């Protein structure tokens, strides 16, 4: 048995308190009810580091985000969305474990430190290009002008898409987000249109890469297809997954990280004086306001969570944002400390589904913020309060981030 059982309380997610400050809400839940219930989502919520970490490593806890979005719909609506469901069921992390392992092993050959190093000069060049474009105005929207286009460019390069198609990639990416954010029917329809469009586009590109292979993920997938390791459908579906997995997340880390620096001017000054602290600063950004606030799981067998029995089939949200501020693990957890060492945050997950792009995302964020601070000594916010919009079921993202320099 784990901890002595405190009561399992119910919480209302759709209140002004939660929308205004999900961290304050999660702090309260963590103190009051380590295993909580969210009746509106028919799910449980875990908030303590030890419990979230254990659940992430527990093989009986399967990934579940997508199934939940579609299960709420009527049978006719589910039928209409069958094409997007078919694609998502091939995404690694949403497949059966044997397929998951097969995709992971394939992609691990690509997502190496050498690949990250190869992309570094491109990340630097993209960042400079985007800052040059904003130069004459003396101000920019960091979300729109830098944080989103940069990782889109990187994924485009990774997938082997021609530079001219990057704008299109960003539009697809925006449309796909509601799949992971409890989107409504209209949004899911749009997501489906974009997934289907992107897959058609990738099939066209695949035909070219078969004739003329290059050093990109698509060519690597196609070589594996030729060996009978995966199908073209699987290759194309997993390219869509990579777009989603690597774009929105990295963009939000860059933007959220900059807000943290603005809110802590002393730390910003320290970072300007000692840019070599950037890797530690990036880890602290992931801990304090990482892009992934919650992960969804389904218990495939009866489990014990925070000392309580939970039946098979239960949906469980793991609050990464709460675990990352757990005082049992982090000294002064509410303080943004860019010199924090041994920062064991869960911002990239843990266990079998640990983020494959972690090293790439770290490098992109590091290079981007380093260049931004170096080139813009007068960088300051041009807003009174950050333009947060809530992302469901918990968490937030910046709709814009206006700055002057
Ligand atoms: C700051 C940026 C990023 C954050 C915060 C992030 C976060 C995460 C998290 C929390 C997971 C675990 C999901 C789960 O347990 O259900 C994950 C998985 C994954 N991430 Fe990332 N990610 C980021 C960037 C990237 C990038 C740049 C790529 C690739 C281009 C990427 C590719 C993946 C893939 C393929 C998985 C699935 C791994 C698997 O199922 O084995 N991520 N990411």
- The answer to whether 46 and 314 are in contact (CB under 8 A) is no
Beta bridge partners of 398: 388
> pTM of this prediction?
0.94
Tokens of 292: 């992934």
**Cα 341 to Cα 353: distance, rounded to the nearest angstrom:** 24
Residue 304: exposure state from Cβ atoms within 10 A (0-12, 13-18, ≥19): middle
User: Residue 3 pLDDT more than 70?
Assistant: no
Q: Whose CA is nearest to atom 14 of ligand 1?
A: 353
Q: Whose CA is nearest to atom 31 of ligand 1?
A: 357
Q: Whose CA is nearest to atom 6 of ligand 1?
A: 348
Q: Whose CA is nearest to atom 1 of ligand 1?
A: 250
Lining ligand 1 with CB less than 6 A are 63, 92-93, 104, 155, 242, 245-246, 249-250, 253, 290-292, 295, 347-349, 353, 355-357, 360-361
Residues 6+ apart with CB under 8 A from 257: 281, 282, 285, 289, 365, 369
Per-residue pLDDT at 67:
56
Instruction: Tell me the CA–centroid distance for residue 173 and ligand 1, in Å.
Output: 15
Instruction: Tell me the CA–centroid distance for residue 358 and ligand 1, in Å.
Output: 7
Instruction: Indicate the helix (H) or strand (E) that contains 153.
Output: helix 149-159
Tens digit of pLDDT for each residue in 242-254? 988 889 999 999 9
Q: How confident is the model at residue 181 (pLDDT cuts 50, 70, 90)?
A: confident
Per-residue pLDDT at 65:
54
Q: Give me the mean pLDDT over the 46-71 stretch.
A: 87
Q: Give me the mean pLDDT over the 129-144 stretch.
A: 92
Instruction: Tell me the CA–centroid distance for residue 247 and ligand 1, in Å.
Output: 10
Per-residue pLDDT at 97:
81
Tens digit of pLDDT for each residue in 64-90? 656 566 777 899 999 999 998 888 888
Which range is least confidently modeled, 121-130, 162-171, 272-281, 369-378? 162-171
Among 37-41, 247-251, 320-324, the range with the most confident prediction by mean pLDDT is: 320-324
**Cα 26 to Cα 104: distance, rounded to the nearest angstrom:** 32
Atom of ligand 1 nearest to the CA of 346: 10
User: Residue 265 pLDDT more than 90?
Assistant: yes
Other CB atoms within 10 A of residue 232 CB = 16
**Cα 246 to Cα 169: distance, rounded to the nearest angstrom:** 12
Mean residue pLDDT across the chain: 92
Q: Give me the mean pLDDT over the 37-45 stretch.
A: 94
Tens digit of pLDDT for each residue in 184-239? 889 999 999 999 999 999 999 999 999 999 999 999 999 999 999 999 999 999 99
Instruction: Tell me the CA–centroid distance for residue 65 and ligand 1, in Å.
Output: 14
Per-residue pLDDT at 162:
87
61-63 sheet: strands from edge to edge: 35-38, 43-46, 315-319, 294-299, 61-63
Per-residue pLDDT at 139:
94
- The answer to whether 292 and 320 are in contact (CB under 8 A) is yes
Per-residue pLDDT at 91:
87
Tokens of 334: 């509410």
Strands 396-400 and 61-63: unpaired
Per-residue pLDDT at 117:
94
User: Residue 286 pLDDT more than 80?
Assistant: yes
Atom of ligand 1 nearest to the CA of 364: 27
User: Residue 357 pLDDT more than 70?
Assistant: yes
Q: Give me the mean pLDDT over the 338-347 stretch.
A: 96
Instruction: Tell me the CA–centroid distance for residue 114 and ligand 1, in Å.
Output: 19
- The answer to whether 241 and 159 are in contact (CB under 8 A) is no
Per-residue pLDDT at 1:
45
Per-residue pLDDT at 4:
53
Tokens of 254: 């860059």
Tokens of 335: 């303080």
Q: Give me the mean pLDDT over the 277-290 stretch.
A: 98
């Amino acid at each position: 048995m784990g901890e002595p059982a405190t009561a399992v309380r119910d919480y209302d997610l759709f209140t002004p308190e939660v929308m205004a400050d999900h961290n304050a809400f999660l702090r309260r839940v963590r103190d009051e009810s380590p295993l909580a219930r969210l009746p509106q989502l028919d799910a449980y919520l875990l908030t303590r580091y030890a419990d979230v970490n254990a659940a992430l490593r527990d093989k009986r806890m399967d990934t579940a985000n997508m199934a939940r979005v579609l299960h709420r719909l009527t049978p006719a609506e589910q039928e209409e969305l069958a094409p997007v469901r078919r694609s998502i069921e091939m995404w690694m992390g949403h497949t059966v474990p044997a397929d998951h392992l097969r995709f992971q092993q394939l992609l691990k050959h690509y997502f190496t430190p050498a690949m990250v190093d190869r992309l570094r000069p491109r990340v630097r060049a993209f960042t400079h290009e985007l800052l040059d474009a904003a130069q004459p105005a003396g101000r920019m929207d960091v979300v729109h002008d830098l944080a989103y286009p940069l990782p889109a460019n990187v994924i485009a390069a990774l997938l082997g898409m021609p530079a001219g198609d990057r704008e299109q990639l960003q539009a697809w990416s925006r449309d796909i987000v509601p799949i992971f954010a409890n989107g409504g029917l209209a949004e899911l329809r749009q997501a489906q249109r974009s997934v289907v469009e992107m897959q058609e586009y990738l099939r066209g590109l695949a035909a070219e890469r078969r004739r003329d292979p290059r050093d990109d993920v698509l060519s690597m997938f196609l070589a594996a297809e030729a060996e009978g390791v995966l199908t073209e459908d699987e290759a194309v579906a997993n390219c869509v997954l990579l777009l989603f997995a690597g774009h929105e997340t990295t963009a939000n880390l860059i933007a959220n990280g900059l807000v943290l620096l603005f809110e802590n001017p002393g730390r910003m000054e320290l970072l300007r004086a000692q840019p070599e602290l950037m890797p530690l600063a990036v880890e602290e950004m992931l801990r304090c306001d990482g892009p992934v606030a919650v992960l969804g799981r389904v218990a495939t067998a009866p489990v014990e969570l925070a000392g309580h029995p939970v039946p098979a089939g239960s949906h469980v949200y793991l609050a990464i944002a709460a675990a990352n501020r757990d005082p049992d693990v982090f000294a002064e957890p509410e303080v943004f400390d860019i010199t924090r060492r041994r920062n064991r945050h869960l911002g990239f997950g843990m266990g079998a589904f640990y983020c494959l792009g972690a090293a790439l995302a770290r490098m992109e964020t590091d290079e981007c913020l380093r260049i931004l601070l170096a080139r813009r000594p007068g960088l300051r916010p041009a807003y009174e309060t950050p333009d947060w919009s809530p992302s469901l079921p918990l968490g937030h993202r910046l709709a814009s981030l206006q700055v002057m320099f």
